[in-house]
Chain A
């Protein structure tokens, strides 16, 4: 991964991530979140995690954001433009966020591995889906089943919450 492409995708991700916060129209926020997630998927691929990048595009940029847009359309969120900004609260929020970012930058600056480049990978004949899959189904069987139960609970919760008159 060349530094040029890294900075392009990182910049894209951060600019559109800021767009999520700054846009007043929820639809515009959701669409900039999609672009931000695509930039993030590109960064995953630059870290040789191709499978995670694809999953990011499939699950987040594909399914989750469609659901967000559906909800925004469903709830018809346009009233927000009329509200005035509470400047004191905004200033407080920005101050806390700046303090957090300064703290993060300080910690990373003092982290002893942060200046080391990534070690090279061996030229492997099997792809990373293979590695993730064998690890998932050999070492992580129990968490996998627990994810199944979690998704089951989520399904039941969604049905109960959104069906007004249950049979």
Chain B
């Protein structure tokens, strides 16, 4: 019943669109995701947030889907739709009953080639996005994350938040949005993923019909900046009225293609419990972490009410972020001292074989849990194809199983260095 996964097919259309189809016949559903290799790292100062704003605009009607027919276009099939933008990618999805496959492909082909960008819609969305930004700023933990990231990177555009800076959101024009859309939303910059109760050859005929006529675009410009090596610890402190103190420590981390990535994923599980590697679903279930080192050092000692680690697969080197929420009355300095003591112990003493075995067992289980729906399976294929290659997904269990204690120790020595980290505090001022 749980033998090899059904065959996965990859096809490259003449216009450069990569299409991945995986049949899964366990439920009468299909999930369609269209991925674009464009995210906030492709933005320059003045138009930060444009990738995310473009994503919003691409739900507002097309040449062949009038504005007033967007609502309900997939709901008629009991379906759901969504999209997200992050540093490396922008993606759109529909999951619905299998009879909606043609509708889903039609929607995505329209989104790729025929979005309208009516000036009134651009203006009304400006305030929606500023509202989204302000909602994020209401959360001190999110604010600290944003500010720490901006401090840790001084050159690479991973430094600015995906939502953008407020002044750019206030001044960007319809032309900024539309020209960005036309440049990046081309078939040769996209991957279409279909997973579900479908027949591959039938699905491919439909894909060809909907997408085959879309002309390729010019080669997409790619980022050249590489973040210079950090040469000393950086620190920041946010002081705003609040009730709770937060600590974050961010280390420059390896990209998914780097030899250190999977050893660091094991190390993260040792430190804070395994999360899995699915941005869409892994973080919805808390990690198994009660025996993890930082949980024992911070939460079990009453210094923090929660602790977490985030290592996400990215195309280029991003951050390994550790976070803690101080318990009421605990100074941030005490939380930081306890966290850094644990982190600095790792390069000196390594981790035990038993800890590595447990971390591998955790990740093995989380990889199973991460593929419990056609939506989640499709996400993983598209996500990894966008930042590396889709076949990384199938190799995840072996990549994790193959990690050695020596590799974990080497990753710890290389990454958990004081000169490679940025320490951030949200140190609340009393409420008025």
Q: Decide if A and B are genuine partners.
A: no
